[in-house]
Amino acid sequence: MHVFLLSPANVGGERARVLLNPRATFDLAVRLRDHGASIGEVMAFLSGLYFRGKLTYALAFASPPPGIAPAFVITAGDGLRSVADRIFHADVSRWSRVDIHPHNSRYTRPLARDAERLARGLGAGDEVILLGSVATPKYVEPLRASLGARLRVPVEFAGRGDMSRGGLMLRCAQAGVALTCVPVDAAPRHGPRPPRLPPRR
């Protein structure tokens, strides 16, 4: 069985400032202020193609154990949140003030706590697939202690930029063809730039 962990969008960039503007009148901004919105759609708005690709791919290929969400977002300060969790303006604002860094305990402690909780709910053969960068330790290091060899990443990510990864995942979800995932310690951190993706049908 497979559960996915999705690295977050930038909650401190220009798109976040647009979303958090108290005078914004578009639908997602209004819902985030008044009633909340799913973290999946919020991150997809903030990131665009890359996170949309991760979310689409994860929901297409997840096969979680009973009682566990199919996919979680790694947050800045709130650990792992199911992609369906409802969040609010204050959540995004709070996350924008927390540095995602492997030596920042405000980020790592909640993440390690939730990774340990996730690990306790997994069976012996279950896998946790990280859809995010392994070129830096900011995601891998807080997760490795709890998830160990269960933590896997797609080898096809090596050498690709964010937009290329997003496009690749959308194509894989559309075609029903999964990426090749290997234990994180065996995954290439860098690689030659692959050929451009063919246009989507």
- Residue 148 has a pLDDT of 87
- Residue 152 has a pLDDT of 93
Residue 192 confidence (pLDDT) above 60:
no
Q: Which residue matches tokens 């069976």?
A: 123
- Residue 72 has a pLDDT of 97
Q: Contact, 188 vs 155, CB < 8 A?
A: yes
Residue 191 confidence (pLDDT) above 60:
no
- Residue 165 has a pLDDT of 86
3-state secondary structure of 94: helix
3-state secondary structure of 86: strand
Q: How far apart are CA 69 and CA 153, in angstroms?
A: 18
pLDDT band at residue 174, thresholds of 50, 70 and 90?
very high
> Helices marked H in the chain — which ranges?
14-20, 27-34, 39-47, 49-61, 89-95, 105-120, 137-147, 162-175
Residue 190 confidence (pLDDT) above 70:
no
Report the pLDDT averaged over residues 161-168. Answer: 87
- Residue 74 has a pLDDT of 97
| Number of other residues whose CB lies within 10 A of the CB of residue 191 | 13
Residue 175 confidence (pLDDT) above 80:
yes
- Residue 183 has a pLDDT of 87
- Residue 160 has a pLDDT of 77
Q: How far apart are CA 197 and CA 167, in angstroms?
A: 8
Copy the structure tokens of residue 179: 């990426």
- Residue 198 has a pLDDT of 60
Q: How far apart are CA 54 and CA 153, in angstroms?
A: 12
Q: Which residue matches tokens 């009633």?
A: 35
